[in-house]
Amino acid sequence: MLDQIIVFVTIVITLFLFVKSALRYDLVAMMSLLFLVLTGIIPAENAFDGFAHSAIITVAAILVVSRGLINSGALNDLVIIIDRTSKNNTMRLMGLMFLTAVLSSFMNNVGALALVMPIAIKMAKDNKISSSMFLMPVAFASLLGGMITEIGTPPNLIISMYREQVGMEAFTFFDFAPVGLAITFIGLVYIGFLGWRFIPHRKPYESGGELFKIEDYLSELLVPVGNKLIGKSLKELNTEYGIEFNVLNIIRQKKFVLAPLAYELLQAGDVLLVKTEPERLVRIIEKSGFKLEGANLSHDESGQLLNSNDFTLIEAVVREDSVLIGKTAIELKLRNKYNINLVAVSRHGESLFSRLGDVAFKSGDVLLMLISNSGISDTLASLRCLPLAERGITLGKMGSSDKKWLALFVFGAGIALTTFGVLPVHISFTLVAITMVLSGLVGTKELYETIEWPIIIMLGAMLPLGEAL
């Protein structure tokens, strides 16, 4: 009886810490597992049996398969068709939710959202409505769609395989579909025609260059040698030249001029730490002749990058599991390791006064970055960031038509092998994942970066807890 109480209390505390989010969920799960091992409830030799569970392998394989589908560009056309054919906002919303639900029933929820989110934001901007009117329903649709198939969500996998372990017949691929489809249909109809009306109405952002409402960006501007504004005061920039922006600090000969006064004179080589909207920032650069700087140590290299056609300026939000969190651009060596130039940072509800290279990133930060055109999707996947706005880019690598059809064929074959009982789900989708790697749809380095290791750790640690209960 005491053991049951200990296990029950441990699980309650674990769930509380999950909700509290004070610690990462994978760390919480591992701490709970070790506590039950130390109390003798879970034998030490069985502590990590959860990591040998076939459901863990299946989840990892599905993450790789999802990345292969995104890289192939096979799904981009579906998203674009909805954008072009829908005649009103209700139909656009229903189309987006339907596509998201279908995608999330066969792939990772984050992958499905990464495909749909930029188009949803663009639709909202084009129709002059708040992006939350599309984004929240799409998020719900991804959760609903996961209930349709065996691989749609980890709990479905675990329940199916548990039945097999206790001597019962495992669920097949579409055994969840009758209930899942009914719930998904009811949910989508409710959200599409009624539920969205309860979403708080926010005024859409009117800026033509930005597809998502965010706080002003923190940026750096260099006053080059020979600039016409050298010797002018900050006040004169506004009154005589119509250049208005908030200068937080001036970096002058490696020293900071904190909160400069309006009569502070500009000198050649000054780096101005400014806070302004992206659209206004463009006008400031055009009028002043200043150079936009990134988080690099070399001004010359940064300027060349900003003027290069090989790089694309995009906005992305830092996810909760991003490798960026708690580190600065300099510590991460963004330029050398990821071929990125950080142009600006925005953080909701907090003022930033440090230089860009010294800003420690947090979950929810919005980054304005220059990324090499040859590896946009790979880079965002490695950093675990989600694109907020589509600026002439797609989330797939946009390979040949053969690559698209190959990805769809291999994926469909995996579903068929599982549905008809030829191979168990963990074998068939591992085979699909390996095929995508061998065919070049997923790079060997990307293979390990794509797997959501915190999720794998959490599931592997929680399975023994469930058995202990």
Q: Report the range of poorest mean pLDDT among 326-335, 346-355, 429-438.
A: 346-355
Higher pLDDT, 89 or 207: 89
Burial of 457 (0-12, 13-18, 19+ CB in 10 A): buried
pLDDT of 333 > 70? The answer is yes
| 114-125 as b/e: b if 16+ CB within 10 A | bbbbbbbbbbbb
The token pair that represents 62 in the structure block: 């599905």
- Assign 338 a pLDDT band (cuts: 50, 70, 90): confident
Largest Cα span, the chain: 83
Contact between residue 238 and residue 244 where contact means Cβ atoms under 8 Å apart? yes
Q: The pTM is what?
A: 0.61
Is residue 460 a contact partner of residue 53, using CB atoms and an 8 Å limit?
A: yes
pLDDT at 233 over 50: yes
Q: Which residues pair with 317 in a beta bridge?
A: 366, 386
Q: Which residues pair with 312 in a beta bridge?
A: 371
Per the structure block, which two tokens stand in for 155? 């709990």
Q: Does the structure show a pLDDT above 50 at 301?
A: no
Residue 201 has what pLDDT?
67
The rounded distance, in Å, linking the Cα atoms of 155 and 157 is 5
- State what percent of residues in the chain have pLDDT above 90: 12
Lowest pLDDT segment from 336-345, 415-424, 460-469? 336-345
CATH node for 310-388: 3.30.70.1450
pLDDT at residue 141 greater than cutoff 50: yes
**β-pair partners for 218:** 275, 345
Q: How open is the CA angle 214-215-220, to the nearest 5 degrees? A: 115
Domains of the chain, residue spans:
1-72+430-469, 73-158+171-203+398-429, 213-293, 310-388
pLDDT band for position 400 (50/70/90)?
A: low
CA distance 238 to 276: 14
Token pair 């548990």 is found at 162
Same fold, 213-293 and 310-388: yes
User: What's the gap between Cα 200 and its chain centre?
Assistant: 24
DSSP lists the bridge partners of residue 258 as 249
For residue range 253-299, list pLDDT tens digits in order: 878 787 788 888 999 989 888 877 666 777 788 788 888 775 543 44
228 DSSP assignment: T
Query: For residues 260, 264, 270 and 273, what is the CA-based torsion angle, rounded to 10 degrees?
Result: 30
Cα–Cα distance measured from residue 105 to residue 115, given in angstroms and rounded to the nearest whole number:
14
Among the ranges given (59-63, 351-355, 401-405), the one the predictor scored with the smallest mean pLDDT? 351-355
Q: Which CATH architecture has domain 213-293?
A: 2-Layer Sandwich (3.30)
Among candidate residues 371, 392, 382, 356, the one with its CA nearest the CA of residue 451: 382
26 contacts 32 by C-beta, under 8 angstroms: no
314 close to 376: Cβ distance less than 8 angstroms: yes
The neighbour count for residue 78, using CB atoms within 10 Å, is 14
| DSSP three-state, residue 208 | coil
